[in-house]
Amino acid sequence: MKRNTDKPVKITEVCLRDGSHVMRHQFTEEQVRTVTRALDQAGMHYIEVSHGDGLGGSTLQYGKSLVNEMKLIEAAVEECQQATVAVLLLPGIGTVHELKQARQLGAGLVRVATHVTEADVSAQHIQFARELEMEVCGFLMMAHSAPVQKLVEQAKLMESYGAQAVYVTDSAGALLPNEVRERIRALRQSLNIEIGFHGHNNLSLAVANTVAAIEEGATRIDGSVRCLGAGAGNAQTEVLLSVLQRMGMDVGIDLYKMIDLAEDVVGPMLPGPQEIQKGSLIMGYAGVYSSFLLHAERAGKKFSIDPRDILIELGKRKVVGGQEDMILDVAAELAKAKSEV
């Protein structure tokens, strides 16, 4: 496999964070311990654990967690013998206080996430994470929704604040492989830090996009075992590992153990099959934030509106993560317009 860097590829497993959306944030401590233990034994590099919307996300707006996320982070840290526990933080949802608490419990990596045009709001959190001696990465969400030069500009800001890597984050699963290549290449040519890629599978391209990112020089990539992530899930970790091994890349994670984890542990936990259904497909098509799906389905039921119409309209309005309250507003407006016809 020809790559544009000699640095090793590190994988962050996100099923216990991104997958929280699918589980309606109802992970139990025992589930987190069981999955974390298996991931650690398989050799996973990083395991992300927090509310689906990051630290501090357990609210009525984003969904209440069954178990306090700090308790889940602590449980995951206790189960890890070699993997590093990671957390996600969205400024405006999570604060430096939650970050400090997560660090005290043993979290070693934080990804500070902002909309692709709003990197400036991450400065305080990135700098504070460095003061806490954590690994810290910038996470530019909805990366499909800004021109490449804007992405580069915002990534440079995160680099200047102290981020050790910046991720191209395909929150909507809307990017095509050539678009991923263009973005990763531009960052590689413009930054002096590592580059990451986080994909969603709404157009069935998450693994292909991740491989394209690696070939262009990304060294930090994400996967979700059994596709347990928002929308249609992320790059399916056990599938991604299989593809990488076929391409001659060994990242040091036991493929058989990951396949067994997917089949025997995570599979029975799923509330339904993680496949590309009409809602997740429309999110990729319309370029809408992947965690909006369940909210749109609830709003559609409440207002007797097809959730696809809600998602398409959200895409037209370029609604971003953190604007979940807009989903109900849009549904109400569509219902009103429908009644007036």
Pairwise CA distance, residues 188 & 215, whole Å: 11
Q: Which of 21, 25, 45, 51 is catalytic?
A: 21
Answer yes or no: same fold for 10-269 and 291-340: no
Q: Is residue 171 marked as binding?
A: yes
Tens of pLDDT, residues 193-228? 999 999 999 999 999 999 999 999 999 999 999 999
Pairwise CA distance, residues 171 & 328, whole Å: 20
Task: List, for the chain, all residue ranges whose pLDDT scores fall below the cut of 70.
Answer: 1-3
Strand (E) or helix (H) holding 239: helix 237-246
Please tell me the CATH code under which domain 10-269 is placed. Answer: 3.20.20.70
Tell me how long the chain is. Answer: 341
- Label residue 248 exposed, middle or buried (CB < 10 Å: 0-12, 13-18, 19+): exposed
For residue 221, list its beta bridge partners.
Answer: 11, 197
Tens of pLDDT, residues 16-40? 999 999 999 999 999 999 999 999 9
Strand (E) or helix (H) holding 88: strand 84-89
Count the Cβ atoms, other than its own, within 10 Å of residue 135: 17
Instruction: Report whether 121 contacts 148 (CB < 8 A).
Output: no
Options 1.10.150.20, 1.10.240.10, 3.40.50.1370, 1.10.8.60; CATH of 291-340: 1.10.8.60
Q: Is the pTM above the cut of 0.75?
A: yes
Long-range contacts (CB closer than 8 Å, 24 or more residues apart) made by 143-147: 143/116, 143/168, 143/169, 143/170, 143/171, 143/175, 143/183, 144/170, 144/172, 144/174, 144/175, 144/179, 144/287, 145/116, 145/172, 145/287, 145/318, 145/320, 146/116, 146/117
Q: Where are the beta strands (DSSP E) in 123-250?
A: 135-141, 165-169, 194-198, 220-223
**Extents of the domains making up the chain:** 10-269, 291-340
* Catalytic site includes residue 115: no
The predicted pLDDT at position 331 comes to: 95
Q: Is residue 200 marked as binding?
A: yes
The predicted pLDDT at position 6 comes to: 75
Pairwise CA distance, residues 225 & 259, whole Å: 8
Q: Is residue 198 marked as binding?
A: yes
